[in-house]
Structure 1
Amino acid sequence: MAEQVISRLRNWITNSNLTDGDRFPPERALCTDLGVSRAELRKAYLVLETEGQLIRSVGRGTFLSKGKKSIKGGGIDKTIMSLAESTSPLEAMNARLVLEPQMARLAALHATPKHLQDLRQLADQMREAASWQRYEDLDRDFHETIADAAGNSLLRAVHKIINRVRLVVVWRKLETTDQRPPETYHSFAEHDAILSALEQRKGGEAYSAMQDHLESTLAAMTAQH
């Protein structure tokens, strides 16, 4: 069913009057047009976002990507989609475990006050998220901001590839709902621990906090199977 939903969305985009940079209609309306649920539509969005066909902005909406290109054209997008087809959720999480703790260590040294301010705002917003989709968008921004703060452009590029593969691999396989995360969700406190270490410029603690967070997420994932 997932591939059918993605195909419907592709066809809708092709036949729509949207031009580069235009905003998509509200999710509820598009779900009605496509005959799909909001959870199915959001999974399709993730796939097309990874392909570079659209851009999702937290709080603003979904937009047709400027200068969009077909996945058939090759390049990094084709590589990412190929990796996503051959990567398991476990492999995606293990790749994060190799990279992200070290990036957190570097971020403790190089993060600007603006990075730390943005991370604090994201951590607060995640606690107030009205749906899992909203939480997932904010969580992605949280981890990408840490990658930016690490101050290493090559590691940032590697992180981007891993994260884009993860988005397709993990969320394509999970069932999402419109419910919000529970107040006791483990990631809230774990994000706070990471941020506290970054704010105190403690690289070793940032490394450990990120490692603990990803291992906890991995444990929660495997417990579902």
Structure 2
Amino acid sequence: MLKVLDARERDDPVTMLTEFIAAGGYVPGDRLPAERELIVELGISRATLRKALDVLERDGMIWRHVGKGTFISSQGGPAGAGNLLELGRHLTPVKMIRARLCIEPAIAREAAINASREAILRINAAKERAREALTWEEYEAEDDHMHRAIAECTDNPLLLGMFDQLNQVRRAVALGNVVRGSDRPPENHSSFMEHERILAAIEARDPSGAEAAMRQHIASVSARLFGED
């Protein structure tokens, strides 16, 4: 049972959820209760719960698989996430890009083979939110959601877990190396069209096309941000 929290903690759904996990004795690989149960247990809204889950997922404490549930990460929680962030601080942008080129095109290929119609709709929704973003921070969050939705399309928990770890390291590398020259992405931002090509290939069930489109996209990001291809 969740321990009693003070007023400050009760205003923080992330703390409440973290305490719930600790008190429940959950270990890596365990599945958390369904959202409807957590809403009742924690006394918070579905929207608030999902924001808290997003934070724990970014921190590496949990991972989610659409249709199967939310699981405790085998990384061992925040300590595992901290190790990944530390790795990111010692990784050059070029090596980060090369790692992405090894993994993400293959993930896009698998997504084209396994994606459900509902999964494709989730990719499209994130893609459109990224295009409509009013700030770089908002764009980057939706770009993350789109790339993760592609990983979810593989229907392979191992590939999804690999993507999540790669993405945490990527964030750490970008944090110290990316400088934006504007408040928001321009209307002709090259990633918009690249995202369209990736989605079109996945929707067309074209594994080779999806792999090539993702590879071109990552190379384009490298050239734009780091001057590398």
Say whether the fold is shared (TM-score over 0.5): yes
Q: Residue type of the partner of 2:13?
A: G
**Which residue of 1 is the match for residue 167 of structure 2?**
163
What's the counterpart of residue 224 of structure 2? 220
Q: CA deviation at 1:50?
A: 5.0
One-letter code of the match for 2:187?
Answer: E
Matching residue of 2:29: none
Relative to structure 1, is the Cα distance of residues 126 and 70 closer, same or farther in structure 2, using a 3 angstrom cutoff? closer
Q: Map residues 62-77 of structure 1 onto 2, 5 A cutoff.
A: 71=78, 74=79, 76-77=80-81
Structure 2 Cα separation of the partners of residues 164 and 179 of structure 1: 23
TM-score, normalising length: structure 2: 0.66
In structure 2, what is the Cα distance between the partners aligned to 1:212 and 1:222?
15
Matched, 1:183 2:187: yes
Cα distance in 2 for partners of 1:155, 1:135 equals 24
The match for 1:133 among 111, 132, 137 is: 137
Is the 8 Å Cα contact of residues 178 and 225 (structure 2) preserved in structure 1?
A: no
The answer to whether the 8 A contact 2:194-2:217 is kept is yes
Aligned residue number for residue 154 of structure 1: 158
1:122 aligns with 2:126: yes
Question: Which residue of the other structure, out of 89, 96, 105, is the alignment partner of 1:92?
Answer: 96
8 Å contact kept, 1:132–1:179: yes
Structure 1 residues 63-115: Cα deviation after superposition (integer angstroms, max 9, x where no partner) = xxxxxx985xx4x2232123122212221121111001011011001011111
Contact 2:114-2:154 within 8 A present in 1 as well: yes
Q: Aligned-pair RMSD on alpha carbons?
A: 3.0
* Equivalent pair of 1:50/1:168 in contact (CA under 8 Å): no
Bigger shift: residues 105-114 or 83-92: 83-92
Counterparts of 1:8-47 in structure 2 under 5 Å?
17-19=8-10, 20-21=12-13
Q: Report the Cα offset of residue 193 of structure 1.
A: 0.2
Partner deviation per Cα, 1:147-184 (whole Å, 9 max, x = no partner): 11112211211111110011111133323477121010
In structure 2, the gaps of 5 or more residues are 1-6, 16-54, 62-75
Alpha-carbon separation, structure 1, partners of 2:201 and 2:128: 16
Deviation readout 1:108-129 (Å, 9 max, x if unpaired) = 0101111111111112122211
Aligned partners of 2:184, 2:200: CA distance in 1, in Å? 25
Higher relative contact order by CA 8 Å / sep ≥ 6: 1 or 2?
1
Matched-pair identity in %: 32
Which residue identity is paired with 1:221? Answer: L
In structure 1, distance between residues paired with 2:137 and 2:108: 24
Aligned length: 170
Give the match for residue 204 of structure 1: 208
Residue in 1 aligned with 2:196?
192
Cα–Cα, structure 1 residues 70 and 123, in superposed 2: closer, same or farther, change >3 Å? Answer: closer
Q: 1:145 to 1:70 in 2, by over 3 A?
A: closer
Give the distance between the partners of 1:147 and 1:139, measured in 2 at CA: 13
For 2:69, the equivalent position in structure 1 comes to none
State how far apart, in whole Å, the 2-side matches of 1:52 and 1:83 are. 14
